[in-house]
Amino acid sequence: MAKEYVFGIINDIQKMSMNDGPGYRTTVFLKGCTLNCEWCHNPEGKNRYPEIIPFISNCTGCGECLKVCPTDAISLDRETSTPHIDRRLCITCLQCVNACQSDALIKWGKIMSVDQVMEEVLKDKLFYTNSKGGLTVSGGEPMAQPNFVKALFKAAKKENINTALDTCGQAPWDDYEKVLPHTDLVLFDLKNMDTRKHYSYAGLGNKLILENAEKIAEKEINMRIRIPVIPGSNDTKENWEKTAEFIKKLGKAVQGIDLLPYHPYVGGKYKAFGMDYPYPVGEGLEDELIEPIIKYFIESAPEVSVGG
C-alpha cells in the first residue's frame, strides 16, 4: 500500500518551550483560527492559508515590491511610504518577498507534511524523556486542521512522545473525536463565561466551547484550563466566579488552572505588521492585580499557576 502523506499549514515550530504543557516541549503552531480575539498574541496565525505580511518597521520605501507584483496588489502609504497589500488581489506568488532586500515583506505559513514536522520534533526526543515533556500543537487554533493534528499525534504516539492539544474549544465535536484518542493532555481556553461578551471580544459566542469542555471532561482526558486575564474584557469578579463554578463541574479531569496575564509587548508586533491593536502597548499586569484572582480558583483544581 502506498504511503499516505498528510500536510498541514505551519506558522512556526518553537523548540524547548516550557509554557505549553509539562516539561520541555516542541510547540507546533498551525495557521488558521476559529475565533477572532481582539487581544490575539499571534495575529499572523489567524488566517489558515500562507500569506504575505508587511513588516513595516523594516521598509525603506524603495518601491521594488510594486515593480514585480503581477496583480498590482501592493501600494505604498502616501504618508509613511510603507507597503499595503490588497488581499483581494494578492495571489501569494512571492515575487515581492524575493524582490525585497530589507525583509519588509515576509511569508507566514509553510506547507509541511507530518514526516517533515516529526523530523523536527524528534530532534529533541531526549529532552522530552528526561523532563516528561513532549509535543504540543497550538495555533491559531489547531482544530482548524483536525486531520493534520490527528495524523501528527498518531505519529508522535508511535514514538512514545507525549501529546498536548492547545485549543480554544470552538470546533465541531466530530473533529475532536478524531484527535482526542491520540491526545494525552488538553490545554483548554476559557475566555469569558458571558456569551454576549465572548461574542463581542472573540467574534463568536461560547456555547459550543462550554459544551466541548464538558464532553472532554466526561472522557476523563487530562485537562488544564487556561484563562487569559484581559483588562476591560474579562477581569471581573462575576466572570471569575462563574468560571470557577464551571471548572468545578468539570471534575477530576482538570489537573490545573493557568492564569495567563495580558502580554504588553504584543502590540509591538501589531505595529510592525501595520495592524491596529486596541490595548495599551508596553503596560503589563502588575503581580498585585493577578494575585487576588487566584483566590477564586484555588478550590476548583489541584493547582493554580500564573503564566502557564
CATH number at 227 reads 3.20.20.70
- The predicted pLDDT at position 265 comes to 77
- The predicted pLDDT at position 115 comes to 97
Give the domain extent around 163.
7-45+112-265+275-306
Whether residues 25 and 61 fall in one domain: no
Whether residues 98 and 216 fall in one domain: no
Asked whether residue 1 is domain-assigned, the answer is no
- The predicted pLDDT at position 3 comes to 64
Asked whether residue 244 is domain-assigned, the answer is yes
Asked whether residue 179 is domain-assigned, the answer is yes
Taking only the tens place, the pLDDT of each residue in 199-231 is: 999 999 999 999 999 999 999 999 999 999 988
Place of cell 518597521: 57
The last residue of one of the domains, among 108, 133, 152, is 108
- The predicted pLDDT at position 16 comes to 95
Q: Is the peptide bond before 140 cis (omega within 30 degrees of 0)?
A: yes
How far, in Å, CA of 264 to CA of 284, rounded?
5
Whether residues 169 and 89 fall in one domain: no
Whether residues 283 and 217 fall in one domain: yes
Q: Computed from CA positions of residues 214, 192, 263, 269, in that sequence, does the dihedral angle turn out positive or negative?
A: positive
User: Contact at 8 Å (CB) between 162 and 189?
Assistant: no
Residue type, 161: I
Q: Which residues of the chain have pLDDT under 70?
A: 1-4, 282-287
Residue 70 sits in a domain whose CATH number is 3.30.70.20
How far, in Å, CA of 248 to CA of 131, rounded?
29
Asked whether residue 2 is domain-assigned, the answer is no
The last residue of one of the domains, among 83, 108, 133, is 108
- The predicted pLDDT at position 172 comes to 98
Whether residues 101 and 146 fall in one domain: no
Residue type, 260: L
Asked whether residue 59 is domain-assigned, the answer is yes
Nearest to 254 by CA among 232, 281, 226: 226
- The predicted pLDDT at position 308 comes to 72
User: Contact at 8 Å (CB) between 224 and 187?
Assistant: yes
The last residue of one of the domains, among 93, 108, 123, is 108
Nearest to 274 by CA among 140, 100, 105, 108: 105
CA dist list (Å): 36 to 170, 202, 229, 247: 11, 5, 17, 24
Whether residues 81 and 170 fall in one domain: no
Q: What domain count does the chain have? A: 2
Query: Pseudo-torsion of CA 293, 296, 297, 298, nearest 10°?
Result: 100
Whether residues 41 and 55 fall in one domain: no
Asked whether residue 270 is domain-assigned, the answer is no
Which positions ≥6 away from 89 have C-beta within 8 Å?
71, 72, 73
